[in-house]
Amino acid sequence: MKKVTLEHLVQDFDLEVICGWDQLNREVEVSDLYRPGLELAGFFTFHPTERLQLLGKTELSFIDRLSGEERKKRFDRLCDPRIPCFIVTRNFEVPTELIKAAETRKIPILRTPVATTRFASKLTNYLEKHLAPMTTLHGVLVDVYGIGVLITGSSGIGKSETALELVKRGHRLVADDAVEIQQTEEGELIGHAPKLIRYLLEIRGLGIINVMTLFGAGAVRDKKKISLAIHLEAWQEKQQYDRLGLDEEKIRIIDTELPQLIIPVRPGRNLAVIIEVAAMNFRLKRMGYHAAQQFVQQLGEAIDETDDWD
C-alpha cells in the first residue's frame, strides 16, 4: 500500500493551505470522505475522525446561521486531533472560529475552487487508487486474447520463454519476473511491472531483452486486469492430472480468488499454445459454454439411452 500524505494532496490537486503548513506530513489512511453536517448540528455520536472532512456550501451555510458563541462551541468540538485535515470547497471563506480551533489542535485546513461533489469524486478515486492493497508475486503477466493470464512456477520452469513465444504469436507482455498487483475494487486485481523492469524480459542464455524495442509498442501493455492464473510445474509420472477440466482450483491473492490451472511441463509440450487455448476456453466459460460439463452431460444421456435399450 502506498502512503498518501497531505503534501501529496496539496501538490496533486493544487490546494491552498489556509493553516497547518507544518502538519502536511500527516498520512491519509482511508479513502472514505466525510461531510460533518450532523456534527455541526450538535450530533457527535458517530463522528468518523479518521476521514478527510469536507466542508461545502451546505455545511458552511448552516454554520453561518448560528451565533458566534454557537459556532465556537461546534468547531471546538468538531476539531478532533485525529482528523487528518479539513478541506473547504468552492473557495468559500473559512470561518474564523474554525481556523482558531484547527490551529489550537494542529489540524490543517485546505481549500479548493472546485465544487464539492466533483471534488469529492476526484479525491475518492485518487485515494482508492493510491491506498489500494498491493502485493508482489514472482511470475509473468501476459495479455492473451484480452485475458490477463498470470503465469507462475518455480525458477527455471520456462515462464519467460513461454511469454516470449506468446509475444511472438501476437500477444502482449505486461510484466516479467515480478508482478505488482493492486486490488483496486472488490474482486478485481490489476497487475503491472515495477518501473525498473518495465517491458523487459529475461531469457536464460540470451540475457535481458526489451520487448517493446524488438517487437514494437503493440507487444506490451502497462497494466492489465488479472483473470486467470496458470501454474507451471515439472511433470511427475505418479501425479494424477485433471483430464476433463471439471475440477476448478482457486488461488487467493490479497482478498480475491482467481481460477487456477496446473499445467505439467515436459519436453514436447507447447506451453504457449496450451496457454492460448486456456485463455480462449476461459472466455467461453464466461460466455456460458463449458465443454467438459457438456461432455459429461452427453455421456450421461448416452448411458441412459443404453440402459433403456437393455
Catalytic annotation on 231?
Answer: no
Q: Which of 111, 171, 176, 177 is labelled catalytic?
A: 177
Pick the CATH number of 4-130 from 3.40.1390.20, 3.30.70.20, 3.40.50.10860, 3.40.1190.20: 3.40.1390.20
Q: What percent of the chain has pLDDT over 90?
A: 64
Taking residues 227-236, report their average pLDDT. Answer: 90
Strands 249-253 and 256-265: antiparallel
Q: Which of 243, 266, 307, 310 is labelled catalytic?
A: 243
As beta bridge partners, residue 149 has 142, 228
The answer to whether the annotation marks 274 as part of a ligand binding site is no
Phi, psi for 43 (deg, rounded to 5): -105, 105
The answer to whether the annotation marks 227 as part of a ligand binding site is no
The answer to whether the annotation marks 187 as part of a ligand binding site is no
- Residue 110 C-alpha from the chain's centroid: 28
Stated pTM of the model: 0.73
Give the residue carrying C-alpha cell 491506498.
Answer: 131
pLDDT above 60: residue 310: no
Query: What architecture is the 134-295 domain classified under in CATH?
Result: 3-Layer(aba) Sandwich (3.40)
Low-confidence winner among 1-10, 30-39, 122-131 (lowest mean pLDDT) = 1-10
Q: How many residues does the chain have?
A: 310
The answer to whether the annotation marks 157 as part of a ligand binding site is yes
Catalytic annotation on 159?
Answer: yes
> What is the rounded distance in angstroms from the CA atom of residue 153 to the CA atom of residue 182?
20
Q: Which of 82, 118, 138, 169 is labelled catalytic?
A: 138
Q: Which of 71, 111, 159, 171 is labelled catalytic?
A: 159
The answer to whether the annotation marks 153 as part of a ligand binding site is yes
Enumerate the domain spans of the chain.
Answer: 4-130, 134-295
Each residue of 27-71: pLDDT tens digit? 998 889 999 999 888 888 889 999 999 999 999 999 988 888 898
Strands 16-19 and 188-192: unpaired
Torsion sign across C-alpha atoms 192, 196, 199, 201: negative
